[in-house]
């Protein structure tokens, strides 16, 4: 399942509504904590693509295994996610820290003329505590193959926030 996203901030709300309807079709109720977490992850990944690339994007939602939900956002930017320090007063710059804290796995890779950032949630796992979003409670960016999803990344946020650009 996929949704074409225009480079317009209003598309973030449309992506959330689309994801809710698709999740319901997969038997994940809107009031389920998994659905709430997935919709937040959709919001973060689509916002990053729309705001930081200025390019159209594609949101994909899949169930690669019966117990796993996978979100992917492909965009036209070839630039890798770049770490930056988020000041306590800033309202942005924490998107990938949230993804790291909420997703069971996440990563990114080149795709065509751009890249895609993905994350996965296990359907039957307990949702992580919100505090983990900033604590680095597990290896940040750990991929499906146990690697970090991109070369040179050492994992662990240690107070860093990452912005997808």
User: How much is the pLDDT for 104?
Assistant: 95
Please say whether the beta carbons of 11 and 56 come within 8 A.
Answer: no
Instruction: Please tell me whether the overall predicted TM-score, pTM, comes out greater than 0.75 for this model.
Output: no
Please say whether the beta carbons of 55 and 77 come within 8 A.
Answer: yes
Domain range for residue 89?
2-163
Tens-digit pLDDT profile for residues 66-111: 889 999 999 999 888 765 667 777 777 778 888 888 999 999 999 8
Closest listed residue to residue 60, CA positions, set 80, 74, 41 = 74
Average pLDDT along the chain: 76
- As a whole number of angstroms, the distance between CA 83 and CA 7 comes to 23
pLDDT confidence bin for 10, thresholds 50/70/90 = very high
Q: Region 23-44: what's the mean pLDDT?
A: 90
CATH number at residue 105: 3.30.565.10
pLDDT confidence bin for 126, thresholds 50/70/90 = low
How far apart, in Å, do the first and last CA atoms of the chain sit?
24
| Phi/psi of residue 113, nearest 5 degrees | -95, 10
Closest listed residue to residue 143, CA positions, set 94, 98, 112, 105 = 105
For the chain, how many structural domains are there in total?
1
Please say whether the beta carbons of 44 and 119 come within 8 A.
Answer: no
**Helix orientation angle between 33-53 and 95-102, rounded to the nearest 10 degrees:** 150
Q: What angle do CA 13, 17, 19 make, to 5 degrees?
A: 115
């Amino acid at each position: 399942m996929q949704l074409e996203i225009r480079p317009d901030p209003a598309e973030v709300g449309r992506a959330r509504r689309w994801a809710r309807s698709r999740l319901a079709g997969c038997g994940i109720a809107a009031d389920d904590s998994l659905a709430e977490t997935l919709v937040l992850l959709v919001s973060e990944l689509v916002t990053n693509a729309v705001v930081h690339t200025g390019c159209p994007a594609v949101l994909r939602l899949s169930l690669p295994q019966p117990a796993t939900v996978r979100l992917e956002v492909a965009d036209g930017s070839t630039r890798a996610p770049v770490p930056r320090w988020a000041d306590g007063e800033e309202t942005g710059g924490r998107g990938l820290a949230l993804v790291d804290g909420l997703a069971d796995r996440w990563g990114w890779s080149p795709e065509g003329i751009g890249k895609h950032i993905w994350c996965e949630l296990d359907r039957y796992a307990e949702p992580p505590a919100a505090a983990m979003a900033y604590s680095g409670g597990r290896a940040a960016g750990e991929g499906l193959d146990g690697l970090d999803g991109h070369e040179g990344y050492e994992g662990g946020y240690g107070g860093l926030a990452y912005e997808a650009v």
